[in-house]
Amino acid sequence: MWLYEKKLEYPVRVDKMDLRMAKYLFTQYGGPDGELSAAIRYLTQRFTMPTNRAKGLFTDIGTEEMAHWEIIGTMIYKLTKDATPEQIKEADLGGFYAIRNKAVFPVDSVGNPWTASYIQAHGDPIADLHEDMAAEQKARATYEHLIRLSDDPGVIDTLRFLREREVVHFQRFGEALNYVQEHLESKKYY
């Protein structure tokens, strides 16, 4: 069970409307290496982890990824909320607007809707941990690309926070990989 604090994990400051940046951020909202994919991946994989310690780590990180999904959604909303239909059309978001208006909907930056095919769960803890470490590196790289695409100090600050969390998650999964391998290789006495 989780307790939900009605505040973001990290404050989102947006200095100006930027539909272009909002469009780019959708990759982390509904894309293959985004926060929703990470959250569902980890919250699914936790069931087949061999120890409570590993299950707890997956639950913690999966839950935090949901908090990051909320942060990305908040940034997209703030970057788009005052846009007129004309501005939306100029930013090449007319197709999205025609279907969704200004809804923050899980699609990637080119408009492909989120799909469960973005996630992996093999039931093999070693394979899943390697997958998760790679996923965290892909997310880190995506945040670095997004930072370079923004000129808004508030957006950049939030993206830097999210990038650093990806680094921490990569490190925790690496520690879990070592721990799980030791657990699986240890002799069991009954």
Domains and CATH numbers, the chain: 19-109+121-184 (1.20.1260.10)
Strand partners, 107: 113
SS3 content of the chain, % helix, strand, coil (to 5): 70, 0, 30
**Does pTM surpass 0.85?**
yes
* Lookup: tokens for 17: 């409307």
HSE (side-chain half, CA atoms, 13 Å) at 57: 21
CA distance 140 to 128: 18
Spell 64-94 as b/e; 16+ CB within 10 A means b. Answer: bbbbbbebbbbbbebbbeebeeeebeebebe
Alpha helices per DSSP H over 31-150: 35-45, 52-80, 85-90, 94-100, 125-149
pLDDT by position in tens, the chain (length 190): 567 788 999 999 999 999 999 999 999 999 999 999 999 999 999 999 999 999 999 999 999 999 999 999 999 999 999 999 999 999 999 999 999 999 999 999 999 999 999 999 999 999 999 999 999 999 999 999 999 999 999 999 999 999 999 999 999 999 999 999 999 998 777 7
- CB under 8 A, 24+ apart: contacts of 94-98: none
